[in-house]
Structures are given as structure tokens and as C-alpha cells.
A and B are shown apart, each in its own frame.
Chain A
């Protein structure tokens, strides 16, 4: 067992990188206990796990162009959020379509402004939270880029693949196309396109897409195609994971 001290957690919300203004993050999954105690229970209560719920709380600092702008834009709205325990390809990460429900600001004389936000998983069009990994850490690219890839593993039947791309920066007049490929070897000698995101045309933002499993390939990578007027620059990061199909 090797424990790690959390120093490089990543917190992405849509096209905002909140990592630099956050110093604590909590992801809490829970479900209701449904009592099914009956006359055959042998005098012991019996329960089943009911509906699941996810709550995310992020604590940090007020910063006008990131945390505050994010809270202002998304309070009361649903937003894709990716939280990773480290800033490296393959780091464990969680992604959810979260409803931002609270964003209190606090200002005290002599102190750095505080901004926290609380959110809950929406669960309507995607699971409240999906466990996976950073397929591609936040990187600024200026040319078409193919990532090295990670050996995430095959995705079995009964599960759905969920992927999210966050585009943090874009240049005017340029386009970015991102797709996820898989293969059965680290050299990607026979890569297959699995998920293709909508083109980002000179714009930042995010998108979540899904794909039904099973897929036996265990190596996964992205291909980010950049085109434009010759001075293209895009900043992006990609989450990849899976959850039981609902």
C-alpha cells in the first residue's frame, strides 16, 4: 500500500480550471437504506441500498476570473465537473454532471477572499458520478496531437463508457476536434475510434459523451486535431471512465 499526499488535485468545471483556487475538495456518494425487515428476518433488521446520490463540496479562494466567474455562470445550472487526485495521465478521477447549488463568498479584513461551492449529481442524463481516470491532463497544444495513452483496461458488458473533454483555451478562427481511440496494444497499431466529440470552433467549453460497452481493448488515448490560420493554440483535458448502464 502506498498512500499519497494530495498536492496536485485537479478540479475542472466546464472550461474553468479551478485547481489554482481550491484547497479542499470532497466527493461524497451515498444511498438510502431501504428497510425490508420481515417475519423471516430472525429478529435482525434487513436493508437494501436504494437510490444513490452524490454531493461535491469545493473549498477555496475568491478569484474574479476563475472561481467567482465559474460560480456566477453556473450557480443553479448543471455543469460537467472532473476531479482528479493528481495531475498525470492515468490519475484516478471522478466526473459528474453536477447541479451547482450553493456558492457562498466570504470577505474579511486582512484575509484572502473565500469562495466555496456545493453541488449535487444530477443523475437525469448521466450517472451522478463516474469513476475513471485522467486520459489526458490539461495541456496546451498548437498542432495535432496524439497522446501516449493509458492502459485503463477493457470495459465489460453491462457498463457504459463516459468521457468528458474540457477546453480551457482557444484561439480565434481555429478549430479543435477530439476523439478517443482504443487498441489492444500500447503501440496502437490498429487503433479504433470510439468516441468523437463535437468540434470546438474557436471556443472554450466542455462536452460529455457516452458509449455502450463491452470493449475488449485495454489501451486508450486521444487524438486532438488542430486546424486554422497558422497560430492555433488550444488548452484541453480529458476524463475517461465507466459506470453501470442504467
Chain B
């Protein structure tokens, strides 16, 4: 068993934009719909896992520099087109201990460029649902 302290989280959007450069927290949530298929005669509740979906959550700081975080992320939200995403615990190469979750698409539902008090750094915070398949890749 190889536990690891996360110091090099990785999240790439659209095949080229490294959101992890602005992030201090990345989380992936996966779930399947709970389908209750209990029928008469069942002594216990009977369930099946239905459709799967996920959510990509990233938080950190927004950077208003040219061609940097705010410009790219606002562009994603403005275009309103699903974006491929890749997330793994470390920016090191993919491996069995550093699996990469490849999301066919995340939906850019929100972008909050400004949300700070005077004297603070404007935060980065997204919570975008996945759309389509998710692949767990451990092949370098």
C-alpha cells in the first residue's frame, strides 16, 4: 500500500489548459443513481445502480493575467461547449499508483471571476458535472 501526500495535483482541461496551476484543491465525485427495485416478497430492500455521473470540483485562485486562468475559464463558460478533462493525484506520469481519470466531458456551467473582499485574492471555484464516460487509466 502506498499512501501519498498530495502536493502536485493535476487537472488539465481541453487537452492543454493546466487548471492545477491555479488550484489548491481538486476533487472528483462519482456516483450512480440509486434505483429501488424492491418488489413484493422481498424481505429486504432491493437496489440497483443506475446511470452514472460525476462532478469535478476545483478551488484555488483566479489570475487575471493575459491568456491565463480568467481568460481561459471565462472562454470555456462563454462558449458553453463540453470540455474534456484529465485528473490525477500527481503531475508525475500515469501509473498504477497515479491513475488518471479521463472525463469525456465536463459541462462549464459556472464561472465566477470575482468574488472577493477588498484586500483578498479573487478565488477560483468550479463544480462542473461530467457528461459521458469516465475512464480510469493506469497505463504510462
Contact = CB atoms under 8 A, between A and B. Distances in A.
A150 to B, nearest CB: 11
Interface string B67-98: 01111001001111110000000000000000
A47 B82 CA distance: 8
Contact of B108 (A49, A83, A92): A49
Interface string B30-41: 000000000000
Contacts, number: 123
Given A24-B116, A92-B70, A48 B107 contact: yes
B119 interface: yes
A4 B114 CA distance: 12
Interface stretch (A29-37, A118-126, A211-219): A29-37
Contacts of A92: 64, 70-71, 113
Contacts of B113: 27, 29, 92, 94, 131
Interface residues of A, number: 38
Interface in A33-58: 33, 37, 41-49, 52
A23 B116 CA distance: 9
Of B61, B77, B105, B134, most A-chain CB atoms within 10 Å = B77
25 contacts: A1-B21, A1-B22, A1-B68, A3-B61, A3-B63, A6-B114, A6-B116, A6-B119, A6-B121, A25-B114, A25-B115, A25-B116, A27-B112, A29-B110, A29-B112, A30-B109, A33-B129, A44-B131, A45-B131, A49-B80, A49-B82, A49-B107, A83-B114, A131-B74, A131-B113
